[in-house]
Amino acid sequence: MVEPGYPAPGGKSERQRPLSFATEPMPAVAGAEPDPAPWKLLIVDDEEEVHSLTRLVLRNYEFEGRPLQLLSAYSGVSARRVLAENPDIALILLDVVMEQEDSGLRLVHHIRGTLQNSNVRIILRTGQPGQAPEMEVVARYDINDYKAKTELTSQKLFTTVTSALRAWRDIQTIERSRRGLERVIEASGSLFEWQSRTQFATAVLRDLVGLVADGTAGVSGLVARREGRGYQVVGGVGRYEGFVGRAVNDVVPDNTALMVARASRRGDGLFFNHSYVSCLAADNGDELLFLVQGMGRLGGPDGSLINLFMSNVATAYQNVNLSLEIIETQKEIIQTLGEVVETRSQETANHVLRVGKMVRLLALRAGLPEDQAAILHLAAPMHDVGKVGIPDAILHKPGKLTAAEYEVMQTHATIGHDILAKSERPLMKAAAIVAGQHHERWDGAGYPAGLRGDEIHIFGRITALVDVFDAMASRRCYRDAMDLGEVLQVIRAGRGTHFDPDLVDVFLAHLTEFVSVIRAHPDAVPAGAQVAEEG
């Protein structure tokens, strides 16, 4: 390769000059949008006169309200550098013969092959057509037009540039729509995963901002839920980050608040002033409001993609609310059934409430994912459901049980497991594990199956520790609450025998949080009530 700035054998004489990368933004006409992004056009030619004449002809050029930004390169080597620094170049006016006879054709091969840039429009213009015959070049190379320099009068250059920019614009629109559709499909897939309402809302906001931003900086957005007659922010990005809990009308400009109110009344999406607002309402009355600001001008395919995405969101939102209604109903049933069991065994109803809260806390502190901790929170109150199958004479016996009676009492773990294991629902399956394993011991001396160590499901190990802690630290009908020091002595003594040693370490490291749960939900045990001790 001949170094730039020196003549190439058999080629034109190259003027000795340093590489030049000049930029010249063309002025915009009155009435155009402020600071519109210019179209980038690269002139690649080793003759300074070609650059000067091209700039002169196109000095007032404008297409669709956007001016030109002219970039210059005087060799194939320098053109590669300009292309690397400006991947959004729309059009290249390319000379064929520069430092080498085929420098321009080599550059075409680099653009289409190495850079994999099939979008930029390339117009070859040569002063020596015989060295690069038009038919051969067009057949072998992916160029978009071939012109002799003598052909490009001012009017023809204007027409050629306009046609090329229009083609590049259409290609970019198709490509942007393709990428947008891919993002819609990708984002829509996660909409139907199990999530809380807040998780769902913030995930949609994140995907919506990603869809409209497409690399644009300065895009902001918020999502809010209906609270009474207004909306309260539950998530935000950009300028709205940190406004969770605030009323929407307190954080958006007055003109935006008017559009929010309009979207709320209409129940659909609106585009206005580089912004988008949409209101979604579920059948149960729950409402979400999405606002995104700082976008480019939207319409056509871009607007259609957003509408398509929000249409999928609306469907998913109905499904999320329906799923959450079912889950919340299950939760209420489980909570109520747990309280019924505790009432029948004359223990305190708040025991199941505390156990639910503490198992979730321990699960999270032990590193379980949020969704698993949430399931355990709902399932743990069912740990003693099997007591419904224990005879009253044993369940309500005052004082210590005989060996035979204690053997019957132990069956409540198996009974509870068998009742709950009939369901295929993940929540009920988790409850079956808890009911069946919360009396297993780390050393294998527990019941009903004598499981040892990691053979015991993590749900069973967590519930076992929390259940014993709450039972000792809370008042019972047959005794007062044990002193915290005594409780901790028992817990520490059971580390590695009764309880998972790692869980004990986590529990003790966060002891104050568990004590706070007990103090926040104390019991009021009726005087004179009695219950059999399980030993």
- Residue 35, Cβ density class (10 Å: 0-12 exposed, 13-18 middle, ≥19 buried): exposed
Q: How far is CA 114 from CA 107, 118, 172, 177, in A?
A: 10, 11, 20, 25
Give the ranges where 366-482 is alpha helix by DSSP (H): 370-379, 392-395, 403-420, 426-437, 458-473
Taking the CB of residue 104, how many other CB atoms lie within 10 A of it? 27
d(CA 206, CA 331): 29
β-pairing, 91-94 with 39-44? parallel
Q: At what angle do helices 370-379 and 458-473 cross, to 10 degrees?
A: 50
197 and 321 in contact (C-beta within 8 Å)?
A: yes
Preceding amide of 448 cis, omega within 30: yes
d(CA 243, CA 226): 15
250 and 288 in contact (C-beta within 8 Å)?
A: no
Decide if 357 is catalytic.
no
Please give the radius of gyration of the chain, using alpha carbons only, rounded to the nearest integer. Answer: 36
* DSSP conformational letter for 66: E
CA neighbor of 414 nearest in space, from 438, 441, 393: 438
Instruction: Could you list the beta-strand ranges (E) of 284-424.
Output: 287-293
Q: Residues in the chain, how many?
A: 535
d(CA 355, CA 334): 13
DSSP per residue over 198-213, as a string?
HHHHHHHHHHHHHHHH
Cβ-count burial 52-88 (b if 16+ within 10 Å, e if not) = ebbbebbeebbbeebbbbbbbbbbbbbbbebbeeeee
Taking the CB of residue 312, how many other CB atoms lie within 10 A of it? 17
Active-site entry in 387, 397, 400, 429: 387
3-state DSSP call for residue 49?
Answer: helix
CA neighbor of 359 nearest in space, from 511, 498, 461: 461
Show which residues are catalytic.
Answer: 387
